[in-house]
Amino acid sequence: MDTSVDRPKFDEVLRAFWRTQGPRQWPAAFGRVWPGLLLSVVIAVASAFIAESRGGPTLLYALLLGMALNPIAMEGKAKAGVDLAARTVLRAGVALLGARITFEQIGTLGWRGVALIVAGIVITIGLGIAASRALGLSRRLGVLTGGATAICGASAAIAIATVLPRDDKSDRELLFTIAGVTVLSTLAMILYPMIVSATRLDPHQAGLFLGGTIHDVAQVVGAGYSISSDTGDFAVLAKLLRVAMLLPVVVAISLAIRHRFRRIETRRGADPLLPRFLLVFAALVVAASFGLIPAAAGTALNGAARGCLVVAIAAVGLKTSPLEMKRVGARAFMLLVIEAATLAGFVLGTQLLITLLDSGSRS
C-alpha cells in the first residue's frame, strides 16, 4: 500500500481552504477535510483518556489506534483531512514547542553542560547516518532515528520528517522511529537511575546525564526526580536545551537537503528554505526568553502544542498500514539501540572523565 502523501490533492485542499478560492469557498473546502480531522481528534482524545486512566505514553496510544483504523481512513472521505492533520497540524504543534524554552534556562547549565549536550547531538546524528549505511538502511531513517535519539524523541522525529524528502517509505519510517524511541525512553527511565547510583554522580552530573540522554521529557522528569529534586531540576534543564537544539538541527537539515538537490527544479508550492513553522518556533523562544509570554499563556501554548502533536500522530498512524511496519525490520531497531547506547556512553564517559581530571588537578 502506498502510504505517501497525495501531494497534488493535498496542496489543492490547502489552497482552496486558505488562499485561492476566498472565504465563500471555505465551507466547501472544510466539507472535504472535516471527516479526517474529526477522526484524528477523536483518536487523540481517546489516547489521552487511556494514558490518563491506565498510564503510558499518549503519543504511542495515538499511533497504535491510528494504525488500527488505517483501512477506514484511506478508503473513504477521511483521507483529505487526515493528510491535512498529518502535515499542517503537525507543523503547528512543533512551532508551539518554542514557548517552553528560554535563554536563561539554557545558561543555567554552564558552558560545559551546553558543550556536552551539543556534542552529543552532533555525534548521535552523525552516527545515525553512518550506521544506517552500514546496516543497509536509508539515510533518511538514519537522520530520523539519530535526531529523535539525540534531541527529544517523537517531537524531533516529527519536526525532522517535515523537511526530509518523501517517498512511499516515509510514513512507516516515521512511525517506526516514534514507536522505537518511546520504548527505549521508557527502558532508559528505569535503567539510567541505576547507572547514576552505580557511578555515584553528583546531582549536577546526574541531571546532565539523564536530561542529555533520555528521549522524552516525561521520562526525564520521572528518572530525575526519582533520585532527588536537585537532580530532577538539572535533568529538566538539560532536556530543555536539547529541545532548543531542535530549531538549528532542522534548519541545518533543510539547508543540506536544498544544497544537495539545488539543481533540481523546485515544484510550485514547495516549502521555503526556512519553513514558517520554524520561524514561529524561534519567535516563541525569543518571546519566552524576554518574558513576553505570561505564565497562563505559556501553559496554554504548551498544552496546545501537545494536543496538536497527538492529533498529528493519530493522523500519521491512520495513513500507515500495520503491515507496512514489518518492512522496516530488525536492523532498524538495532540502529536505534546503537544510537541510544552511544549517546549514553558518550555523556556518561565524559562526565566521569571530567570528574577524574578535576580531582587530579586538585590533588
In the block, which residue shows the cell 505564565?
A: 295
Q: Give the list of residues 6+ apart from residue 145 with CB closer than 8 angstroms, or none.
A: 128, 132, 157, 177, 180, 181, 332, 335, 336, 339
pLDDT at 2: 42
Q: Count Cβ neighbours within 10 Å for each residue of 87-110 and write b for 16 or more, e otherwise.
A: bbbbbbbbbbbbbbbbeebbebbe
Q: What's the pLDDT at 175?
A: 82
Classify residue 99 by its DSSP letter.
G
- Cell 534548519, residue? 251
Q: Please give the DSSP secondary-structure letter assigned to residue 2.
A: -
Summarised one tens digit per residue, pLDDT across range 148-159 is: 999 888 788 888
Question: Which residue is listed with cell 490547502?
Answer: 14
**pLDDT of 74:** 66
pLDDT value of position 345? 94
Residue 58: closest CA among 308, 298, 232, 299: 308
Beta carbons of 125 and 146 less than 8 angstroms apart: yes
Asked if 85 and 40 touch (Cβ cutoff 8 Å), the reply is yes
Output the CA torsion sign for 126, 130, 136, 140: positive
Task: Please give the pLDDT value at position 322.
Answer: 65
Instruction: Answer whether 309's CB lies under 8 Å from 158's CB.
Output: yes
The tens digit of pLDDT for each residue in 108-132 reads 777 888 899 999 999 999 999 999 9
Longest dimension (CA), the chain: 78
- State pLDDT tens for residues 249-265: 988 888 887 666 544 44
User: Quick one: pLDDT at residue 155?
Assistant: 80
pLDDT at 335: 94
The DSSP letter of residue 18 is: I
User: Where along the chain do its domains lie?
Assistant: 7-263+271-362
pLDDT for 21: 47
Q: What angle do CA 205, 211, 212 make, to 5 degrees?
A: 85
What DSSP state is assigned to residue 102? -
According to the model, what pLDDT value does residue 131 have?
A: 94
Q: pLDDT means per 10 residues in the chain (363 residues)?
A: 44 49 56 82 92 80 83 74 80 79 74 89 94 91 92 84 80 84 81 90 89 82 79 81 85 78 44 66 86 90 86 80 66 92 94 80 64
Local structure of 75: helix, strand or coil: coil
Closest to 153 in 3D by CA, of 124, 186, 125, 182: 182
